[in-house]
Structure 1
Amino acid sequence: MRSVRARAALGATVVVALALAVAGLAVLLVLRANLTDQAGLQAEVAAREVAGQLALDVPYDELKTGDEEDHPVQVTDEEGRVVAVSKDLEAISGTGTDRVTPVPQPSPEGGRNDDGHDDDDDDDGTGSADPARGEVSTDDPDFTNGTATVDGDRADYRFASVEATDSAGLTLTVHAGAPLAAEQRAVASVRGAMLTGLPVVLLVVAGVTWLVTRRALRPVEGIRREMAAITASEDLSRRVPEPGSHDEIARLARTTNETLTALEASVDRQRRFVADASHELRSPIASLRTQLEVGAAHPGLLDVPGAVADTVRLQALAADLLLLARLDAGERPGAARLDLGALVHEEVSQRTGDRIPVTVSVPEGGGFEVTGSRGQLARVIGNLLDNAERHARSAVAVTVHGERGGVVVEVTDDGDGVPGAERERIFERFVRLDDARTRDEGGAGLGLAIARDVAVRHGGRLTVTDAGERGARFALWLPDAR
């Protein structure tokens, strides 16, 4: 099942079906329990009426059991023998004994005769009766379910068992039943209604879920079609439609458009990078080729120093392009711990050909440790110093100090500075301002771009500000290794 609409409709239908099944079962159980309790109450009332008569020594054959069909009665003695039953009771179960024929009782002195009458009355009727009376148990009755056949009709009953003691101390148990037909009819009616209505409810749920899901996913289909068109046309300037709602689909559309914007910018940047790299490589290659062709035709005119300079320029440009390619590919920096102050001293000490001496200020004691790639960080410091040397008038200074959980390296020159509107643009690749600051020989406009990329990938940042009244200050911040 590949359709989201179908899966949603099926899932909703299954959930609703389970919920309705559980709710319906609970309703049926509660209904059955309530109706069974009502039947038990009716049976208890009937049993206590008969037990009250037994406590008053009413003869067995004169017991009033009410409606025999609605309340069949069975009376047993302490030994479980049947001593009385209601009229027309033909069979019974669920009361402890299934006998329905009363057993004739002996006629002990002072007891009941076979007819259930007392034998201690005077023949002439002048004797006094025993004033003792029996009693009915006040304990909660026992309830059981069973069946009874009354006048040929067999049905289910709820039986209540109540004990009674007559005046002679004989304990009798009255089993009276109440029919469960009403409970069974009600449960069957409710169950039938549920079974009939359940398919209709499930069809409605499935249909509504299908329509709602279809309407909700309509913008997704529009997004899919537009993305397919963008893929086919390779036109990254197109955008997917954004619905006016503020739900997850609208956020998906906005995120998709943001991704397309970032992808378009990345592709444009890559295209400009390739074009600029080709342009930068063309000049030294053409110059080198011209010098070699002249040298081949006229060996005495070969400009060896110029050819070497062009080769060095090509080599440096190729190294810069290779480093940028590795950075763009997501190369992770190293995890070595190094002292940034010592690295600055080492880099400055190797710059013996600078036209302006570099002043270094690093507090004693060290403690400026950072984590990263020694080669890449040395490249950053070297690029910042190269930039300062090209634009300084008479001074270049490097300072190292701690700041807000990190280490800062500041490279300052006394050149013309960087205009405020250009301070972010100079970190773009192949960017060289047209003023006197950067239009110099040998620079391809990659040094500062490489420096910022390396700083960012080390968890730091590289910014430029004014250095007082004149010049520029480049500040490299890297997180402290501690």
Structure 2
Amino acid sequence: MDMSLRLRITLQAGAVTLVCLLGLAWAASQGLGLLLTNARDTEMGIVLDAAASDVIAGRTPVAPDGLEVRVLDTAGAVVVDENDGDADAPGTDPDLTPEQVRTLKAGIPTTTGGAQPVRWHGTVVTAPDGSQRLVVAGTSLVGQRAAELSGARWLLVTALAGAAVAGVAIWFAVGSALRPVARMRQSVRRLAPGTRVEVPDATARELRALADDFNVLLDRADATTERLRRFTGDAAHELRSPVTSIRLQSEVAVANPDPEISQEVHEDVLADAVRLSALLDGLLALARSDAGELPPSDDVDLVGEARAAVTRARAALGAEPSVQLTVNAMASEAWASAAHTEIELVLDNLLRNASRYTRTRIVVSVLAGQSSVRVLVDDDGAGVPREHRAKIFDRFYRVADDRSRTSGGAGLGLALVAALVGRRGGRVTVGDSPEGGARFTAIWPRAH
């Protein structure tokens, strides 16, 4: 059953209160009997002292109403006053066992059983004739037992009533405490795009913290929505260009079924298709990165990967490349913690980016530190202006808007590099190169 928070808190707090009150009622009922017994013991102690004084003085003790006083010999038998013909004065045999007599002679109270239990106190005194007498005072416990039961019932009723009152109080207290939260929830539902939750006054620290957390969450949601909107728009714009080109080229081929024109059209369509495929691959890789799909990490030798990437770049430049590519490594091996496919994508994109803007030379350096491994890609091109360095790793961002799609790419390569390196705990930076152009640095955690 789906219960509200208010009801759950009330039920739980009410149950705890009821258990506590019942425990207190039980403890109080146990203490009530002891309290009544102690009161009776105190009263009988006073009566017993007076009776003992009478026996010592040779007088017959007189019992107050509700109490009994007996004079016994040390064996527990009733002693009859010889000067008093009425044998009923000292009373009837209190029916004490030898063990109880010894207990009373030791000054310890005892209780006789039966349908009408009696509690006895006793003390040993010396009569005027020199004989030892056991003076005992007793009181019936029948009324006390009834009082204990009655008190226990009232304590139980009081505990139940107290738990009910506490439950009602908790219900209203929780409702009062949650009322600002309910108002905040309603205000969140009515929020217009771009607005934020009103922060309560400074006295409600928890509510202020909750409102601040709501606003932080809304900021993140708005930022995510804005990135998704911008990414979707840019992706649609980038996809439209090769698709439109392919369509126009196909229309030309259909309208002019000339073999020479058809060959040119096929070459152009192939180039656009390759460009479109690369764009889709980049979008797919970024989407997987955003979704948190992280391949298992492995130990990858960056020196070997850098040399392999340079070999692939040379092959892409042609048989007689105009750009010189070299690899500088301080050691024969430099192991990083990443996935092999990620390293390939990062190095290929960095070299492809450098190849677009360099003039004559690209240098790939691998440096191994105590906790990280770095790959530096330097070129001798125009470099990256400082005002663009903070955004150059954004998706679809280009340093020059008028750059051609063929030379400038789609603006996804560096964004993919930053995403792949960043999800392994590394980072990518851009700065000035000693070669005169740009230096891109990719840093991975070192494999252990």
TM (normalized to structure 1)? 0.75
Which structure shows the higher helix fraction? 2
Counterparts of residues 82-97 of structure 1 (less than 5 Å): 82-83=78-79, 87=89, 89=91, 95-96=96-97
Counterparts of residues 401-480 of structure 1 (less than 5 Å): 401-403=367-369, 405-434=371-400, 441-467=407-433, 470-480=436-446
Determine which structure has more spread, i.e. the larger CA radius of gyration.
Answer: 1
Give the match for residue 300 of structure 1. 260
Q: Deviations over 1:31-50 (max 9, x none)?
A: 54344224224434544555
Pair 1:436–1:364, CA change in 2 (3 A): farther
Q: Which amino acid counterpart does residue 73 of structure 1 have in structure 2?
A: V
Q: Tell me by how many angstroms 1:476 deviates.
A: 1.4
Pair 1:218–1:422, CA change in 2 (3 A): farther
Give the match for residue 194 of structure 2. 237
Distance 1:361 1:19 in 2: 77
Q: Tell me by how many angstroms 1:380 deviates.
A: 0.7
Give the match for residue 210 of structure 2. 252
Give the match for residue 12 of structure 2. 11
Larger mean CA deviation between 347-356 and 336-345 belongs to 347-356
Aligned residue for 1:426, secondary structure, equals coil
Aligned residue for 2:67, secondary structure, equals coil
Kept in 1, the 8 Å contact 2:374–2:442? The answer is: yes
Q: Which amino acid counterpart does residue 257 of structure 1 have in structure 2?
A: N
Kept in 2, the 8 Å contact 1:68–1:86? The answer is: no
Give the match for residue 141 of structure 1. 107
Distance 2:362 2:350 in 1: 10
Q: Tell me by how many angstroms 1:166 deviates.
A: 6.8
Give the match for residue 354 of structure 2. 388
Aligned residue for 1:351, secondary structure, equals helix
Residue correspondences, number = 428
Kept in 2, the 8 Å contact 1:416–1:471? The answer is: yes
Larger mean CA deviation between 175-184 and 348-357 belongs to 175-184
Give the match for residue 37 of structure 1. 38
Aligned with residue 331 of structure 2, among 354, 364, 372: 364
Counterparts of residues 59-70 of structure 1 (less than 5 Å): 62-64=59-61, 66-70=62-66
Q: Deviations over 1:271-320 (max 9, x none)?
A: 22222122112212222232233233233213143332222111211211
Q: Which amino acid counterpart does residue 41 of structure 2 have in structure 1?
A: G
Counterparts of residues 123-142 of structure 1 (less than 5 Å): 141-142=107-108
Q: Which amino acid counterpart does residue 67 of structure 1 have in structure 2?
A: A
Distance 2:12 2:64 in 1: 54
Gaps of 5+ in 1: 98-135, 149-153
Distance 1:450 1:86 in 2: 114
Q: Deviations over 1:120-159 (max 9, x none)?
A: xxxxxxxxxxxxxxxx9998522234589xxxxx987532
Distance 1:286 1:86 in 2: 130
Gaps of 5+ in 2: 81-86
Aligned residue for 1:350, secondary structure, equals helix
TM (normalized to structure 2)? 0.80
Pair 1:196–1:326, CA change in 2 (3 A): closer
Q: Deviations over 1:61-111 (max 9, x none)?
A: x532x3343431234445554445973856857x449xxxxxxxxxxxxxx
Let me know the Cα RMSD of the aligned residues: 3.9
Identity %: 32
Give the match for residue 329 of structure 1. 291
Q: Deviations over 1:443-477 (max 9, x none)?
A: 00000110111112112111223336943322211
Pair 1:383–1:190, CA change in 2 (3 A): same
Kept in 2, the 8 Å contact 1:68–1:88? The answer is: no
Kept in 2, the 8 Å contact 1:396–1:411? The answer is: yes
Aligned with residue 290 of structure 1, among 248, 252, 275: 248
